[in-house]
Structure 1
Amino acid sequence: MRHEDASAKNLNEGNALALRLFIESLDLKAYSRNTIRTYVNEFRQFLQVLGSMNAANLADQRIRDYFVYCLKTLRLSESTVHSRINAIKFYYERVLGRDSVFFEMPRPKKPQILPRVLSIDELKKMFDLTPNLKHNTMLRLCYGMGLRVSEIVGLKISDINSRTMQVLIRRGKGKKDRYVNLPQSMLLQLRSYVVAFQPREFLFEGQAGKAYSIRSAQQVFQTALKRAKINIKTGIHSLRHSYATHLLEQGTDIRFIKELLGHDDIRTTIKYTHVSPASIRNVKSPLDGMSKLPGGDDPERPGFF
C-alpha cells in the first residue's frame, strides 16, 4: 500500500527500516486507512526526534522521557499524545514483539468535552433550507440512521432493503457490519432521489462514479448550517450525536442505541448521548407522584418565590 506521508527523509538507516516494517505490519493487520495514516504520521514524528539513535534499541525510560517531552515541551494536546502512544506502542509490541508490560505507563487524562447536539428545530430548519435533493437526502439519512460520515458516503444501493426497512452498514469502525433502520419517512424521498440521480453503485456518487468524498459531505453540512443561520462550530458528526441523544430523550433503551451506533462498549454510548437542559427541566421528582401532601390549597405566595 502506498502512503504519501510515509517519507523516510531525514531518518537514519535503522529508523528508515523501522518505519518500513511499521507500515508493513499495519497493512498486514488490515487497519483502516485513517488509522494507518494517523499512526504513520505519529510514529514518523517520533523517529525524527531520535536523530542518530535507533528506535529498536531504545530503553523503556527513554521512551517515557519522550512522552514527557511531548507534554511539557511540545505542549501537545492529550488526544495527540494518546494517539502517539498508541502508534509507538504498536511498533514495540506488534513489530518488535516486546512484552506489553514494557509499555504500562500512565496516560494524560483526556478532557471530557460534550458533543454539540442540534435541537429538533435546528435540524428541521437545516433540512428545510437545503433544496438540493442529493444533499438533503444525505443529511437526513446521516441523522436519521445515526451514521458516521465515512458510513454515509460509503453506503451502496445494494445495502438498502426497502422490504425489511433495514440498511446494512458494512465494515464500520472496528471493521464490524451492523444493521440500522431506514426511517419510514425517507422511503419516498429516497426513491425519488435514486430515480433523479441514477446512482450505479454508491448511493451518493462523486466524480467518475466513485463514492462521495468525506470532505464534500462535510462541506454540504457546513453549507446547511450557514443557510439555517446556526452559528456554532461543529461538524457533520454532530448529526450522529444528535440522533443518539434524541433517541435517549424519547425513552429508547440505551442498549438498543449502543447496537444501532455500532459501539463495542456501552460507556462509549453514554459519552455520545447528551441530554439537553430542556429535557432535564421536564424530569419530575417522584415526590410529585405521591398523594397530596399537607400544606393546604393554594397557600399565599411568598415574595421571594
Structure 2
Amino acid sequence: MASISLYFGKIPTELDPEQVHDYLFYLQKKSKTPSQTYFKHCVYGLRFLLKSEGLPYQFLRLPAIRHEKKLPVVLSKEEVWAMLQSAKLLKHKILIGLLYGCGLRCMEARSVRLQDLDFDRKQLKVVQGKGKKDRYVPLSVHLIRGLKKYMQGEKPQDYLFNGKPVERAGGDFDSKYSQRGVQWAVRQVAKAAGVKKEVHTHTLRHSYATHLLEDGMDIMTLKDLLGHQNIETTMEYLHIAQLDTQKVFSPLDTLFEKCSSK
C-alpha cells in the first residue's frame, strides 16, 4: 500500500477506480516488478483495504495468473558419464550415481541409511519420500560395486553420507550430509565435467526419468519409481523424451540427405 500512496501522494482510499487501474497498469509495465504473484498480492491487498473501509471494491477484478511453464533441464548420457568420470572424490561419484541411477530427490539421497541398501536383491528402499510414501528402486550392479568400495573406505555407521553434526530442536543431532553440501558437490562436478547446462540435484532426477523412457520403460512403472502421486506429473517427461515411436528431427537433416548428393 505504501508504494501506491507514494505514487499518487495520497492514501489509497482517496483514489478513484481509474487511478487505481492506472497504477496497476504502471505496475505491470514496470521492469523491476518482482513477479506476477507480487502483482496479484497488490490487487488482493487493495481489495481488502477498500472492503474493510466500506468502499466499492468490485472494480478490482483479477483473472487467474498462470505460472510460467518451464520444461526441466535434461542431461545427455554423455554428460552424465562425464560427470561420473570427473568426480575426484569417491563420495561425490557415489552421490552422482545415486541421484541419477536411482532418480532420488536431494532429501532422499541425504537420508539413505545403510539398512536401506539391499545388495542381494539389487534394490534401495526410499523411506518416507515426498508424500510420506516408501518405495523401492533398482540398484545398478555398477553402483553396488562403487557403494561397497565407498563403505569399506568411509565406514559409515548409520547414514550412507555423513556430514557435520547439526543440533536440531529437542537437543538431538542430525549427522546427514547437508543439503547445501550435496548441491555444492553436484555443481562442482558438473563444472569439472565441462557441462554448460545449469545443473542442480534435480537435473539428475529429470535425466533419470527421461533416459528410462527413451530406453523403453513404460510410463506407469516410471511413475512408481519416481514416487509421483499423479500420472500427470510423470507424463511431462513425454514432452522431453526422444522416443523412437515419435522421434522428432530437423528439416535440415532431410534437406541434406536429399540435396547434398546432387
Place the TM-score, normalised by the shorter chain, in its bin.
Answer: 0.5 to 0.7
Q: 2:82: which partner in 1? A: 125
8 Å contact from structure 2 (residues 222, 234) kept in 1: yes
- 1:212, distance to aligned residue in structure 2 (A): 0.2
Structure 1 position 157 matched with structure 2 position 88: no
Structure 1 position 77 matched with structure 2 position 66: no
Structure 1 position 244 matched with structure 2 position 209: yes
Q: 1:140: which partner in 2? A: 97
Q: 2:247 aligns with which of 280, 289, 292?
A: 280
Following TM superposition, the consecutive aligned residue runs of length 4 or more in structure 1 with deviations greater than 2 angstroms are 71-78, 276-282, 301-305
Q: Distance in 1 between matches of 2:259 and 2:226?
A: 49
- 1:270, distance to aligned residue in structure 2 (A): 1.6
- 1:184, distance to aligned residue in structure 2 (A): 1.8
Q: Distance in 2 between matches of 1:303 and 1:128?
A: 38
Distance change (3 Å), C-alpha of 1:146 and 1:198: same
Q: 1:11: which partner in 2? A: none
Q: Distance in 2 between matches of 1:118 and 1:130?
A: 16
Q: Deviations over 1:23-57 (max 9, x none)?
A: xxxxxxxxxxxxxxxxxxxxxxxxxx9xxxxxxxx
Matched residue type, 1:172: G
Q: Deviations over 1:89-114 (max 9, x none)?
A: xxxxxxxxxxxxxxxx9631122211
Distance change (3 Å), C-alpha of 1:280 and 1:133: same
Q: Distance in 2 between matches of 1:181 and 1:77?
A: 41
Q: Distance in 2 between matches of 1:152 and 1:173?
A: 12
Q: Distance in 1 between matches of 2:127 and 2:204?
A: 19
- 1:277, distance to aligned residue in structure 2 (A): 9.4
Q: Deviations over 1:160-204 (max 9, x none)?
A: 111221211111111111111111221111111001001111100
Q: 2:175 aligns with which of 181, 188, 210?
A: 210
Q: Distance in 1 between matches of 2:261 and 2:66?
A: 43
Q: 1:233: which partner in 2? A: 198
8 Å contact from structure 2 (residues 209, 237) kept in 1: yes
| TM-score normalised over the length of structure 2 | 0.68
Matched residue type, 1:177: D
Q: Distance in 2 between matches of 1:159 and 1:144?
A: 16
- 1:77, distance to aligned residue in structure 2 (A): 3.4
Greater relative contact order: 1 or 2 (C-alpha under 8 angstroms, separation 6 or more)?
2
Q: 2:228 aligns with which of 260, 263, 276?
A: 263
Q: Distance in 2 between matches of 1:303 and 1:146?
A: 43
Distance change (3 Å), C-alpha of 1:228 and 1:172: same
Matched residue type, 2:231: I
After the TM superposition, which residues 45-194 of structure 1 pair with which residues of structure 2 at under 5 Å, given as runs?
Answer: 72=28, 75-77=33-35, 107-194=64-151
- 1:247, distance to aligned residue in structure 2 (A): 0.3
- 1:304, distance to aligned residue in structure 2 (A): 10
Provide structure 2 residue ranges, at least 5 long, that are not aligned to the other structure: 4-23, 42-61, 166-173, 250-257
Secondary structure class of the residue paired with 1:113: coil
Matched residue type, 1:77: S
Matched residue type, 1:114: L
Query: Which has the larger share of strand?
Result: 2
Q: Deviations over 1:192-240 (max 9, x none)?
A: 1001001111100101370001111111111111111112223111000
Q: Distance in 2 between matches of 1:134 and 1:302?
A: 52
Provide structure 1 residue ranges, at least 5 long, that are not aligned to the other structure: 1-48, 50-67, 85-104, 283-300
Percent identity between the aligned chains? 35
Distance change (3 Å), C-alpha of 1:304 and 1:109: farther
- 1:272, distance to aligned residue in structure 2 (A): 3.9
